[in-house]
């Protein structure tokens, strides 16, 4: 499944965007293009609704960080809401340890994130953490 991006009407300095499908090396550029005009506004917050997001790779994480950096320049925030369990696990890992300190390549990072998300979807325990 590819990535579907739905930009909802802005409200009081906030913009909501829903993401459905996979945010990976094949779709992150679509998100970057869709968010570019929003990031040029003086938004107080960009809310990314992840309820329909099934998978995220390091490329997708970079797109989110790029948006955070763009809005952070003028005090805006990117808020992530409704992540599925496997997406939340990736976000927790990325917060805990910067990816550039863990992996020697993007391919290695993506392989790790893929395996971790599959493990969460199967309901495996976090024995290796």
pLDDT for residue 128: 46
Percent of the chain topping pLDDT 70: 84
Least confident of 37-46, 59-68, 87-96: 87-96
CATH 3.90.550.10 is right for the domain spanning 4-122: no
pLDDT for residue 7: 97
CA distance 2 to 77: 26
Query: If pLDDT is split at 50, 70 and 90, which confidence band does 129 have?
Result: very low
Query: If pLDDT is split at 50, 70 and 90, which confidence band does 75 have?
Result: confident
Sequence-distant (6+) residues with CB within 8 A of 52 are 4, 18, 19, 20, 21
Q: Where are the domains of the chain?
A: 4-122
């Amino acid at each position: 499944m590819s990535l579907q991006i739905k930009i909802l009407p802005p409200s009081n300095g906030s913009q909501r965007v829903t993401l459905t499908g996979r945010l990976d090396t094949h779709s992150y550029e679509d998100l970057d293009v869709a968010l570019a005009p929003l990031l040029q506004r003086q938004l107080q917050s960009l809310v990314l609704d992840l309820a329909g997001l099934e998978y995220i790779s390091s490329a997708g994480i970079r797109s989110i960080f790029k948006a955070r950096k763009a809005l952070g320049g003028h005090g805006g925030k990117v808020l992530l809401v409704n992540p599925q369990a496997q997406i939340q696990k990736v976000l927790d890992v990325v917060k805990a340890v910067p990816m550039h300190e863990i992996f020697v390549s993007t391919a290695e990072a993506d392989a790790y994130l893929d395996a971790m998300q599959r493990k969460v979807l199967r309901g495996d325990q976090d024995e290796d953490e």
